[in-house]
Structure 1
Amino acid sequence: MNLIIDIGNTVAKLAVFDGDEQIEVLRGSNHSLDCIKILCHKYKIDKCIIASVITLSNTIKRQLSGVDFPVLELTHETPVPIINKYRTPSTLGMDRLAAVVGANYLMPDRDILVIDAGTALTFEFIDVNATYWGGNISPGIYTRFKSLSACCDKLPLIEKGGELPDIGYNTETAIRAGVIKGIEFEIKGYISEMQKKYPDLLVFLTGGDKFSFDTKLKSIIFADRFLVLKGLNRILNYNVK
């Protein structure tokens, strides 16, 4: 079985795969992989891959050094089953790379836009020939909420949940509607523009945030919260035959 570790800006996700089948997923701190003991006790792990967008803590390094199976750390030098045209691969987030690998594996021979809605909102494009051309990065929902509160003296920090009118009728709903609907419009705009060049475009939506889409867009959108984990599993299997 494979142990997949995805360390993000906010949390770490640990998953166990049996072949292509995802068996279990646990979430925890991105500074300490305490739940690794639980998974290693519960399953017979043969190999592991770890991808991180932050510097690995000494605690995590120590925990990984104590396991009895090989651990592959994903870097820009790791072989992947796609063609990577990103011009600065050493600065490419490994979660972004894993997401497009996962999308291409699930839907090969298609033009795909991968949208990951987390701490950052990212847009990645991989074409019908499995060539990844890059993507764009903008702030995610909570990053936008926090930046408004931090940069605007009289604007409060609000939560995502709550009333969401078309037009805000007080400061709280104005911020919530502005941020969430702004992101929805941003996503729809990217999809519409990409469809002009790639009429058969498919869209994968992953990450922790959900959005509403009209009927036309729903027909081409595949929501998969675990796309990055599936991509990492694919990369691990590709490197360890």
Structure 2
Amino acid sequence: MNLIIDIGNTVAKVAVFDNASMVEVMYDSNLTLEHLPDVCRKFPIEKTIVATVIDLSKQVLEQLAKLPIPVLWLDEKTPLPVENLYETPQTLGYDRMAAVVGANEQFPGKNLLVIDAGTCITYEFIDSEGRYHGGNISPGLQMRFKALHQFTGRLPQVTNEGRRLPMGKDTETAIRAGVLKGIEYEITGYIMTMKHKYAELLVFLTGGDDFSFDTNVKSIIFADRFLVLKGLNRILNYNNDRI
């Protein structure tokens, strides 16, 4: 079985795969990985991959050092099952590439737009030949709410929870509608622009934030909350097959 460790900005995800099938996923502290030993005792782990976007704490490094199997650390030198055309692979967030790999595994031979709505919103494109062309990075939901509050003198801190109106009737609803509708129109704009160039484009939406779209756009979206984990598992299997 494969152990997938995805250490993000706010939380760590630990998943177990049997070949390409996800058996279990759990959320853990990105500062301690305190539940990792329990997972290793529960499953017969044979291979593992670690991907992180943060500098790891001493406790996390100690937990990983105790693993009884070799660890594949995902970095810019890790062989990938797709062609990476990004000009600075050393600056490419592993989660962006893993999401692309996960989408490509499910629909090989298709033009794919992968949208990850997390701390940031990222837009990635991989063509039907398996070539990753790159992507864009935009502020995420919470980042937009916080920026409006922190970079102004009087605008309040607003969250996405609360009354939602097409057009705000007070400052709180105006901010909420502006942020949510702004993200919706941004994502819809990316999708429609890409579809003009690639008529058979398929779209994957992943990440922690959910958004609503009109019926025409929603019909071409595949929502997959675990796309990054699936991509990391594919990368691990790919590297193991090369041995």
Q: What is the CA deviation profile of residues 48-89 of structure 1, one whole-angstrom value per residue up to 9, with x for unaligned ones?
A: 101111112222111100110111110010000000000000
Identity rate, percent: 59
Question: Distance between the aligned counterparts of 2:30 and 2:155, measured in 1?
Answer: 30
Q: What secondary structure is seen at the aligned counterpart in 1 of 2:67?
A: coil
1:182 equivalent in structure 2: 182
The one-letter code of the counterpart of 1:65 is: A
Within-5 A mapping of 1:1-241: 1-241=1-241
| Deviating 4+ runs (over 2 angstroms) | none
1:98 is matched by which residue type in structure 2? A
Query: So what's the TM-score if we normalise by structure 2?
Result: 0.97
The number of residue pairs the alignment matches comes to 241
TM-score, normalisation: structure 1: 0.98
**Structure 1 unmatched ranges of 5 or more:** none
Instruction: After TM superposition, give the deviation of residue 28 of structure 1 in Å.
Output: 2.1
Distance across 2 between alignment mates of 1:193 and 1:142: 25
Cα-Cα RMSD: 0.8
Taking the aligned partners of 2:59 and 2:148, their CA distance within structure 1 comes to: 34
Q: Structure 2 unaligned segments of length 5 or more: list them.
A: none
1:86-108 per-residue CA deviation (whole Å, 9 max, x = no partner) reads 00000000000000000000111
Q: C-alpha distance in 1, partners of 2:179/2:64? A: 39
Q: Secondary structure of the equivalent of 1:90?
A: helix
**More displaced stretch, 226-235 vs 173-182:** 173-182
What amino acid maps onto 1:63 in structure 2? Q
The amino acid that maps onto 1:177 is A
